[in-house]
């Protein structure tokens, strides 16, 4: 049994915080971590794993750094500037799927009256909270941007930990206007001040500027990675950009995100240079898929089928760099602008416009919208997305499934849908 | 030159041998899938060879399709039932635009353009709207499934079956029988419940005529009539709708070099 499987088996058997702390205490020690990390297939992947483990170790450690739960899309740059360790229950729910413990956490959430209709990222996270598997937070930050489940379930966590006064919901307005920007900037600033007051920390503007600069640097390299993907016909086997949520969201504002994307760029550039200069004819070229929303985070055949059918995920909408460069002299306003420019905010037209531009830029042949059970913000737009893509001759597969709960995954049906869709794409020349 | 297509479904397995030179079906065989898709495919293949008076060496290429398609070691390739059904119906009705296929555990709607599939929709992880649903209900009512169509045609009025789930629908009809409800009206209600589910799938993908129905359930005139009524179109049925997937696979096998 390899080291990864031994880790999985250990956690499955001992699903409690004490065991996880003990494990992190062993694997997060520098020599071990870096040796373990070096077994990964690329330097970027090595750093991704090291940063993930270090970030978890910080969140689980009993040191004086406050921990804040956060949902996706909140301004992590601000938390890094304040020296607050972020911990993402939704990302951890993805880990529960990968580690094979989602059945336990989801079962626990059912026992605690979480509806089966709720998305399993939140059900699994809620179960882990109820089981005391996650570290105790000092603050909880979430937003109404895109996801409707986080704002409710995260508030329940604040009650569980008796920190209701340290729960913050960032209300992102529907319309993008000057007034919206002023309102959102004020909110982020007030939350920052309140966290300072409650944690006894002082806002160091030079640290804030440093975090903003790191965020800009990461943005620059992420754009370079995306640009190179516009011309790539093949990827290194380890590359799966649906896994890069930690560096793209949580590590924004640290040098770690910069390191990760810089290495990733170098590796893809090398890969591009090694690709045959003569392009395969249109028929032999891999079909380029645009992946919409997320993917199953447990072992599934979805991506193997793509590979077998000579297709690649040319781009994923979650890796779209949608925000303008941030201004280190106006950090709160910049972070507000970043949130307001998200393509999942406001009208569905914002998302569709982004999708249509990806189709043009990444020379897309077909799109797969993974319909994650219970995710209204994404699934609600399925029809209009499919119709918009149809208008420009791009077929779309609306693939029902579940990112976290393997019991909601139908192997045969998923395979037939994916394979059938790729057969349609391949029959088009 | 001869090619063969084998469609391994959840309930039945069909094999078709195509005489490519004369563009005609040489023979076909249908058998129950049972617990081993591999054995079922082997049996269907041997039966159809026997019917055609051929040996396995006479077959240039074999394509497997259906849910058991990956498990057939003697097939040269596997292709989904989406492509195979589309190819199969086109050989019978060349101008077709919409295919409704209702099999044992799958129901699907395929949209065609110039004879090629351009979009499709399949039922979710549920037996409602499939042949299995009708089988379970026939068993619960102790009425031969073949009687459903004549009962549907002669009966006036129906009882709405409100449960979507096959298991709950079974309980619902048991209760209705217990209350003394006319069994014929229950059958009519059951057939309409399938038609409603399929109609919703057809509407999602967009109804374009001509429309054809394939799969074992296409042999049930009650379901066909209910669908025609709900969709407001005439539905074409191939002479043997159950072998359409295997026939399409046999046609696609011509392309194997």
Mean pLDDT of chain B: 91
Of the ranges A23-27, B80-84, B154-158, which is most confident? B80-84
**Would the CB atoms of B122 and A410 count as touching at under 8 Å?**
no
**Whole-number pLDDT of residue B140:** 83
The average pLDDT across B142-167 equals: 84
Domain B95-237 homologous superfamily, CATH: ATPase, nucleotide binding domain (3.30.420.40)
The average pLDDT across B10-26 equals: 94
Least confident of A285-299, B37-51, B157-171: B157-171
**Would the CB atoms of A424 and B118 count as touching at under 8 Å?**
yes
Percent of chain A with pLDDT over 70: 95
**Would the CB atoms of A410 and B119 count as touching at under 8 Å?**
no
**Would the CB atoms of A416 and B82 count as touching at under 8 Å?**
yes
The answer to whether the CB of A290 falls within 8 A of the CB of A359 is yes
Could you give the angle at the alpha carbon of A411 between the alpha carbons of A408 and A417, nearest 5°? 105
**Would the CB atoms of A420 and B67 count as touching at under 8 Å?**
no
Contacts of B79 in chain A (CB under 8 A): 423
**Would the CB atoms of A416 and B79 count as touching at under 8 Å?**
no
Contacts of A413 in chain B (CB under 8 A): 106, 122, 124-125
Look at residue A279 and tell me whether its pLDDT is greater than 70.
no
Nearest CA in chain B to A393: B118
> Right CATH number for B1-93+240-257 from 3.30.420.40, 3.40.190.10, 1.10.3720.10, 3.40.50.300?
3.30.420.40
**Would the CB atoms of B82 and A400 count as touching at under 8 Å?**
no
DSSP bridge pairs for A27: none
| Interface residue B162 vs chain A (CB under 8 A) | no
**Whole-number pLDDT of residue A280:** 64
For residues B8 and B243, give the distance between their C-alpha atoms in angstroms, rounded to a whole number. 11
Contacts of B106 in chain A (CB under 8 A): 413, 416
Contacts of A416 in chain B (CB under 8 A): 67, 80-82, 106, 122
Residue A393 region, left (φ>0) first, then alpha (ψ -120 to 50), else beta?
left
Mutating which of B77, B84, B125 best tests the A interface, going by the most A Cβ atoms within 10 A? B125
Q: Kindly report the length of chain A.
A: 429
Look at residue A209 and tell me whether its pLDDT is greater than 70.
yes
For chain A, give every domain's residue range: 3-205
**How far from chain centre, in Å, is Cα B170?**
22
Asked if the domains B1-93+240-257 and B95-237 are classified in one and the same CATH topology, the answer is yes
| Interface residue A424 vs chain B (CB under 8 A) | yes
- Using CB atoms, which residue from A410, A421, A423 is nearest to B125? A410
- Using CB atoms, which residue from B67, B82, B116 is nearest to A420? B82
For chain B, give every domain's residue range: 1-93+240-257, 95-237
**Whole-number pLDDT of residue B139:** 84
Look at residue B125 and tell me whether its pLDDT is greater than 90.
no
**Whole-number pLDDT of residue A412:** 84
**Would the CB atoms of A417 and B67 count as touching at under 8 Å?**
no
Instruction: State how far residue A190 is from chain B, nearest Cα, in angstroms.
Output: 47
**Whole-number pLDDT of residue B130:** 82
| Interface residue B117 vs chain A (CB under 8 A) | yes
Least confident of A74-83, A84-93, A271-280, A417-426: A271-280
Query: HSE on the CB side for A386, CA within 13 Å?
Result: 21
DSSP bridge pairs for B235: B211
The average pLDDT across A134-149 equals: 95
**How far from chain centre, in Å, is Cα A249?**
7
The average pLDDT across A244-264 equals: 96
ipTM of the complex: 0.89
- Using CB atoms, which residue from A408, A410, A420 is nearest to B120? A420
What is the dotted CATH code of the domain comprising A3-205? 3.40.50.11890
Contacts of B99 in chain A (CB under 8 A): none
The answer to whether the CB of B254 falls within 8 A of the CB of B74 is no
| Interface residue B159 vs chain A (CB under 8 A) | no
**Would the CB atoms of A400 and B116 count as touching at under 8 Å?**
no
Look at residue B136 and tell me whether its pLDDT is greater than 90.
no
């Amino acid at each position: 049994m390899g080291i990864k499987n031994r880790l999985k088996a250990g956690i499955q058997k001992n699903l409690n915080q004490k065991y996880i702390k003990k494990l992190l205490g062993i694997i997060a020690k520098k020599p071990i971590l870096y040796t373990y990390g070096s077994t990964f297939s690329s330097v970027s992947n090595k750093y991704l794993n090291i940063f993930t483990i270090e970030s978890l170790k910080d969140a689980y450690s009993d040191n004086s750094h406050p921990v804040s739960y956060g949902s996706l899309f909140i301004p992590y740059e601000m938390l890094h500037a304040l020296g607050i360790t972020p911990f993402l229950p939704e990302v951890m729910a993805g880990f529960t799927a990968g580690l094979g413990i989602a059945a336990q956490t989801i079962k626990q959430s059912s026992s605690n009256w979480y509806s089966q209709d709720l998305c399993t990222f939140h059900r699994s996270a809620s179960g882990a909270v109820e089981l005391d598997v996650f570290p105790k937070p000092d603050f909880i930050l979430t937003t109404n941007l895109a996801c409707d489940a986080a704002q409710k379930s995260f508030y329940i966590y604040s009650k569980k930990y008796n920190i209701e006064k340290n729960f913050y919901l960032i209300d992102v307005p529907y319309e993008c206007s000057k007034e919206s920007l002023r309102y959102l900037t004020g909110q982020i600033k007030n939350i920052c001040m309140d966290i300072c007051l409650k944690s006894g920390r002082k806002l160091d503007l030079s640290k804030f500027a440093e975090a903003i600069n790191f965020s800009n640097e990461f943005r620059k390299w992420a754009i370079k990675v995306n640009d190179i993907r516009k011309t790539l016909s093949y990827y290194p086997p380890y590359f799966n950009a649906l896994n890069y949520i930690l560096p793209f969201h949580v590590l924004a504002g640290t040098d770690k995100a910069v390191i990760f994307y810089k290495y990733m760029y170098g590796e893809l550039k090398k890969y591009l240079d090694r690709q045959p200069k003569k392009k395969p004819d249109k028929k032999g070229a891999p079909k380029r898929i645009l992946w919409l929303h997320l993917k199953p985070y447990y072992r599934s055949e979805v991506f193997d089928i793509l590979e077998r059918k000579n297709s690649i995920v040319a781009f994923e909408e979650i890796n779209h760099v949608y925000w303008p460069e941030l201004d280190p002299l106006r950090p709160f306003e910049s972070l507000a602008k970043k949130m307001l420019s998200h393509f999942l905010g406001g009208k569905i037209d914002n998302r569709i416009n982004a999708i249509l531009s990806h189709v043009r830029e990444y020379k897309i042949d077909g799109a797969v919208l993974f319909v994650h059970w219970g995710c209204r913000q994404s699934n609600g737009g399925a029809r209009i997305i499919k119709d918009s893509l149809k208008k420009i001759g791009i077929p779309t597969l609306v693939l029902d499934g579940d990112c976290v709960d393997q019991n909601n995954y139908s192997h045969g049906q998923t395979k037939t849908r994916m394979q059938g869709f790729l057969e349609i794409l391949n029959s088009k020349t | 030159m001869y090619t063969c297509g084998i469609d391994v479904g959840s309930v039945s397995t069909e094999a078709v041998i195509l005489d490519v030179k004369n563009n005609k079906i040489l023979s076909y065989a249908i058998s129950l899938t049972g617990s081993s898709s591999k054995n079922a495919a082997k049996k269907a293949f041997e039966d159809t060879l026997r019917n055609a008076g051929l040996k396995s060496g006479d077959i240039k290429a074999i394509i497997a399709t259906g849910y058991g398609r990956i498990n057939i070691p003697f097939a040269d390739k596997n292709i989904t039932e989406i492509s195979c059904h589309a190819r199969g119906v086109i050989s019978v009705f060349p101008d077709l635009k919409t295919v409704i296929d209702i099999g044992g555990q799958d129901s699907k709607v395929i949209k065609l353009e110039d004879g090629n599939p351009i979009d499709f929709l399949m039922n979710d992880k549920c037996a409602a709207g499939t042949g299995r649903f009708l089988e379970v209900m026939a068993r619960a009512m102790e009425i031969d499934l073949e009687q459903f169509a004549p009962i549907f045609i002669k009966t006036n009025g129906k009882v709405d079956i409100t449960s979507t789930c096959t298991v709950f629908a079974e309980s619902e009809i048991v209760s209705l029988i217990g209350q003394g409800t006319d069994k014929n009206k229950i059958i009519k209600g059951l057939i309409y419940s399938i038609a409603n589910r399929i109609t919703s799938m057809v509407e999602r993908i967009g109804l374009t005529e001509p429309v054809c129905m394939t799969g074992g359930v296409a042999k049930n005139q009650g379901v066909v009539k209910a669908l025609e009524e709900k969709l407001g179109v005439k539905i074409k049925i191939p002479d043997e709708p159950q072998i359409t997937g295997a026939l399409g696979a046999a046609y696609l096998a011509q392309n194997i070099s």
